[in-house]
Amino acid sequence: MDLDFTEEQEALKKTARDFMKKDFPNTLVRELEEDPTGFRAEIWGKIAEMGWLSVIIPEEYEGIGGSLMDLVVLFEEMGRACFIAPFFSTVICTLPIVSAGSEAQKKEILPKISNGELVLSLALTEPSATYEAAGISTSAVADQEDYVINGTKLFIHDAQVAHYFLCATRTRMDGPPEEGITLFLVDAKSPGIKITPLLTISDDKQNEVVFEKVRVPKKNMLGPLNQGFPLIQHLLKHAMMAKCAEMVGAADWTIENCTAYAKERVQYGSLIGSYGIIQHYLAEMWTEIGIAKRFTYYAAWRLDQGLPCDKEVSMAKAFVSEVYRRWTRMGVQIFGGIGTTREHDMGLYYRRARQAALLFGDPDTLREKVAQEMGR
Amino acid sequence: MDFRLTPAQQALKEEFEAFFQEEAQRAPEGWIGGMFGIFESEANWAYHRSVADRLSKKGWLSLPWPKKYGGQEHSYIEQLIFNEVRGYYRVPGVDLWGPQIVAPSILEHGSEELKQEWLPRIANAEINWCQGWSEPNSGSDLASLMTRAVEDGDDFVINGQKIWTTGGHKADHIFFLARTDPSVPKHKGITYFVSPIKEGVTVRPLLFMHGKHEYNEVFFDNFRVPKTNVVGKVNQGWYVTMAGINFERSMIGTVSELQRDLEDLVDLCKRTQRNGRSLYEDPLIRQKMAQLDTELEATRQWAYYVAWVQSKKQSAAPEASAAKYFSSEMTVRFANTALEILGLYGPLKEGSKWASLHGKFEDLCQASLGGTVAGGTTEIQKNIIAWMGLKLPR
């Protein structure tokens, strides 16, 4: 048993923390929140240079061949810094390319992801607002050398800067819904794609992406025909753990900053941190965030090792989401009036918590999945 | 990171499992486990004692101690695995205090004579301990205790009263705190004693809310204890109490026992039809069961983490306090949620027709309240986290 990060991971953590401090200051967070692209080429270039985009890409495709746990380290630091870039989108879309892409696809695309040339966006969810296969009705129909895609994708992160969409389509209408899904890598410049930005609570660059008679060459099919949903499930599990890591990193910011504030804010002649009520809020916050972190590592480790983990991943995402929501809410309370303002950072985390809890499975839906696993 | 047990730990775990699985078969009628079940009937007590004897023969009451004193020199991880497996099979046999509170105190602070005299007897399960710390006016503010110990020749003479003395009616020995110097600040005038219960000690029952006899009051009336029975130095007893309590706070045994309870509850929900479907198919109940399972896993992961930090010989006081309060509060939530899931059947007591799962949750939703008070209340644990972990002003 070894419940610590490796030395390399500790070093990566330090590099990431230093990078965020130096190259991703708070002012840039504010700027990118307002900026419709949510993208800075120089930041993207630097993270490519540091190898962050290649962590899960195998070495033969110019990657590093790292693990999910390495990514957990990075996502924690990104969550802590409220990092804004299409990194999450690109990385989770890289997964099915690595695991199911053809040799040609891998050779063509992975090195370009690795060096920062390509931004990817996951075009999965639709107005049905579910992550289940039954929610996918965007169709792809074979026509000579192409497939033709029609449908509306909704809540699509980073479409505004994507070079490729990883698009989940329905290619068979009959039979169980999960046995008729096919994935395509769709060039974002293809005629018939219309992107409309959505404004969200966390300014996280979501879009509606309408596919109207969009032609995709057959060679851009990723993985087998009609059997794309298992790849999506695999991707979702990784996305959940990456989101957990982001959340616990952000939660760390919350406990640290609330504690620091309690040691400087004076009311009634005493530090508010000397009052039992504030001490106990902070003690609970520290405890639950600590537990959420260990839960994240455990579930991520199981996923990384290829062990059965449907239950653990769902549990972790539900638990971490609730913890992050609860304590960003209490964080605002501890900061008082200033915590409710646009200018104060606490609100950044409060807003992100509301969004993150719902992505890739909300706590109620995930508990239902846990209940299914409990009955086995 | 690697959450796997080493092959040696895995083998030991399997050995524990085989042992406790077999011991579980020998439980008396109506046995529902729990920390205090052993005090509730003669049959339960006899079961506890017989397992204790077998455990001592295995050397499993002294897993982390030095070999020199009859221990196995295992790490906290092995101890955690032991506690986890034992909890899951709901098997008693480990004195509540001896191996995990008294022994670490003696190991860390006791004289060589004390170690030689007491440690083998604890490892051999010869002693049934009770704890004389709290007093009627000294609960969370334990250091304000008033029981007096006055030197008289080779002895101390003790007068005063203790309370919440779990298992005092079954115990033959007591470890307790008494004030040896009333003239100095409260933490600096307390001494830690171990002694057989003998003339001068009166034990009186104090029934728990559910009517069971677990607690007692203990009265000392010119109770004589030889000076050689002081653990650590005279007036240094407060610091002796700190040994051992952190590990005890990981509470893994409670978690694994609840895991077992949850399995039973899920099974029952599958078998129970209500309004044309099983309870297990009711979406609200599914949410509740999943939440219970999630909180259990969260608590389990934290307990492993705390043991991991401690096994590296690093201090983990705030982490251990977090484990203690979170797991005991979780147990209360668990019991109350389970009672809700069972509906009107939930509050039926063991022994009544139609009782569910031997009235386990009727019992637990009361018994669990002891856990959030005993051994440092939830509020005290949060104070420790705030002061030691977060360095907030006292």
pLDDT at B246: 60
Question: Which residue do the tokens 């001490």 mark?
Answer: A279
Q: Does residue B162 share a domain with residue B89?
A: no
pLDDT in tens, B91-133: 999 999 999 899 999 999 999 999 999 999 999 999 999 999 9
What is the tens place of the pLDDT at every residue in A19-77? 999 999 999 999 999 999 999 999 999 999 999 999 999 999 999 999 999 999 999 99
Structure confidence at residue B252 (pLDDT): 87
A301 interfaces chain B, CB cutoff of 8 Å = yes
**What pLDDT score does B249 carry?**
65
Nearest to A374 among B293, B387, B393 (CB): B293
pLDDT of residue B244: 62
Out of B5, B298, B385, name the one closest to residue A319 (CB): B298
**Strands, E, within chain B: which ranges?**
129-132, 148-152, 155-162, 173-179, 190-196, 201-206, 215-226, 230-231, 273-274, 277-278
What pLDDT does residue B253 have? 87
pLDDT at B355: 94
Same domain, B278 and B383: yes
Residues 6+ apart with CB under 8 A from A18: none
| B53-71 exposure pattern, b = at least 16 Cβ within 10 A, e = fewer | eebbeeebbbbbbeeebbb
**Is residue A375 scored above 90 in pLDDT?**
no
In a shared domain, residues B264 and B341: yes
DSSP, residue by residue, A191-259 = TTEEEEEE--TT---EEEEEEEEEEEEGGGEESSTTB-HHHHHHHHHHHHHHHHHHHHHHHHHHHHHHH
Query: Do residues A160 and A207 make contact, with C-beta atoms less than 8 angstroms apart?
Result: yes
Residue B272 reports pLDDT greater than 90: yes
- Condensed to tens digits (0 to 9), the pLDDT of residues B240-262 reads 988 766 665 667 888 999 999 99
- For residue B2, pLDDT beyond 90: yes
How do residues B193-207 score in pLDDT, each as one tens digit? 999 999 999 999 999
- Residues B60-94 have pLDDT tens digits of 999 999 999 989 999 889 999 999 999 999 999 99
Is residue A136 within 8 A of residue A154, CB to CB? The reply is: no
Give the chain B residue nearest A3 (alpha carbons): B1
Distance of CA B135 to the CA centre of its chain: 19
Regarding whether B266 and B378 lie in a shared domain, the answer is: yes
Nearest to B253 by CA among B51, B82, B58: B82
> Do B221 and B350 belong to one domain?
no
Percent of chain A residues topping a pLDDT of 70:
100
B160: pLDDT strictly greater than 70: yes
State yes or no: pLDDT of B222 exceeds 90: yes
Question: Per-residue pLDDT averaged across A3-13, rounded?
Answer: 98
Q: What is the secondary structure of A25-66 as a DSSP string? A: -HHHHHHHHHSTT---HHHHHHHHHTTGGGTTS-GGGT----
- Give dist(CA A290, CA B387) in Å, integer: 17
* A330-339 pLDDT tens trace: 999 999 999 9
Q: Are B1 and A318 in contact (CB < 8 Å)?
A: no
Token pair in block for residue A202: 């966390």
Tell whether B119 is covered by a domain: no
Q: Which amino acid is at A171?
A: T
Q: Are A289 and A248 in contact (CB under 8 A)?
A: yes
Contact A283 B390 (CB under 8 A): yes
- Residue B353, domain CATH: 1.20.140.10
* Of the candidates A186, A194, A189, A192, the residue with the CA atom closest to the CA atom of residue A214: A192
Same domain for B321 and B199, yes or no, is: no
Residues B250 and B385 in one domain: yes
Mean pLDDT of B279-289: 97
Confirm if B32 and B358 have CB atoms less than 8 A apart.
yes
In this predicted structure, the answer to whether residue A238 has a pLDDT above a threshold of 70 is yes
Residue B104 domain-assigned?
Answer: no
CA-wise closest residue to A204 among A92, A360, A352: A352
Angle at alpha carbon of residue B163, lines to B158 and B165, rounded to 5°: 95
pLDDT higher than threshold 70 for residue A319:
yes
**pLDDT at residue A115, rounded to an integer:** 96
Joined together, the tokens standing for residue B131 give: 């704890």
Is residue B100 included in any domain, yes or no? no
CB under 8 Å to B85, separation ≥6 — which residues? B13, B16, B17, B20, B256
Locus of tokens 């992406």: A209
Which pair of tokens denotes residue B212? 């069971």
**Residue B33 belongs to some domain of the structure:** yes
Residue B182 to residues B185, B187, B219, B386, Cα–Cα distance (Å): 8, 10, 20, 30
- DSSP letter for each residue of A313-352: HHHHHHHHHHHHHHHHHHHHHHHGGGGGSSSSTHHHHHHH
Please give the Cα distance from A253 to B157 (Å, whole number): 55
Which of B189, B204, B235 terminates a domain? The answer is B235
- Pair B369, B329 in one domain: yes
Residue B100: its pLDDT value, please?
Answer: 87
Tell me the pTM: 0.95
In a mutational test of the A interface, the residue from B77, B84, B289, B301 whose CB has the highest number of chain A CBs within 10 Å is B301
Q: How far apart are the first and last CA of chain B?
A: 36
DSSP code, position A2: B
Mean pLDDT for the stretch of residues A143-162: 98
Identify the closest residue of chain B to A264 by CA–CA distance. B392
Give me chain B's average pLDDT, please: 95
Residue with tokens 């309240």: B369
Contact by Cβ (8 Å): B362, B347: yes
Residues 16-75 of A with CB under 8 A from B: 69
CATH of the domain at B173: 2.40.110.10
Query: B178, B203, B235 — which closes off a domain?
Result: B235
DSSP H or E segment with residue A147: strand A146-157
Q: How confident is the model at residue A309, as a pLDDT?
A: 98
Tell me how far CA of residue A356 lies from CA of A29, A200, A301, A327, B226, in angstroms. 17, 12, 21, 14, 64
The answer to whether position B116 is within a domain reads no
pLDDT tier at A12, thresholds 50, 70, 90:
very high
**Cβ neighbours of residue B329 under 8 Å, at least 6 residues apart?**
B372, B378
Q: Do B378 and B256 lie in a common domain? A: yes
Residues B154 and B252 both lie in one domain: no
CB pairs under 8 A between A and B: 132
Of B94, B116, B151, which marks where a domain is finished? Answer: B94
Q: Which domain holds residue B288?
A: 245-389
| Tally of domains within chain B | 3
> Residue B275 domain-assigned?
yes
Residue A98 CA, chain-centre distance (Å), reads 18
Per the structure block, which two tokens stand in for B204?
A: 């009186």
Q: Is residue B259 part of a domain?
A: yes
Specify the amino acid at residue B267: D
**Structural domain includes residue B378:** yes
Say yes or no: B211 and B252 in one domain. Answer: no
B314 and B185: one domain?
no
What whole-number distance in Å separates Cα of residue B324 and Cα of residue B306? 11
Q: How many residues does chain B have?
A: 394
What per-residue confidence (pLDDT) applies to B245? 63
Which domains, from first to last, does chain A contain?
A: 7-118 (1.10.540.10), 121-226 (2.40.110.10), 230-374 (1.20.140.10)
Please give the Cα distance from B75 to B59 (Å, whole number).
Answer: 14
| Chain B CB contacts of A278 below 8 Å | 392
Which of A287, A311, A320, A323 is the best residue to mutate to test the B interface, defined by the most B CB atoms within 10 Å of its own CB? A287
**Mean per-residue pLDDT of chain A:** 97
Nearest-CB residue to A271 (from B266, B291, B393) = B393
B-contacting residues of A 317-336, CB under 8 Å? Answer: 318-319
Residue range B313-343, pLDDT digits in tens: 888 899 999 999 999 999 999 999 999 999 9
CB-closest option in A282, A295, A369 to B386: A282
**Distance from the A94 Cα atom to the nearest Cα atom in chain B, whole angstroms:** 24
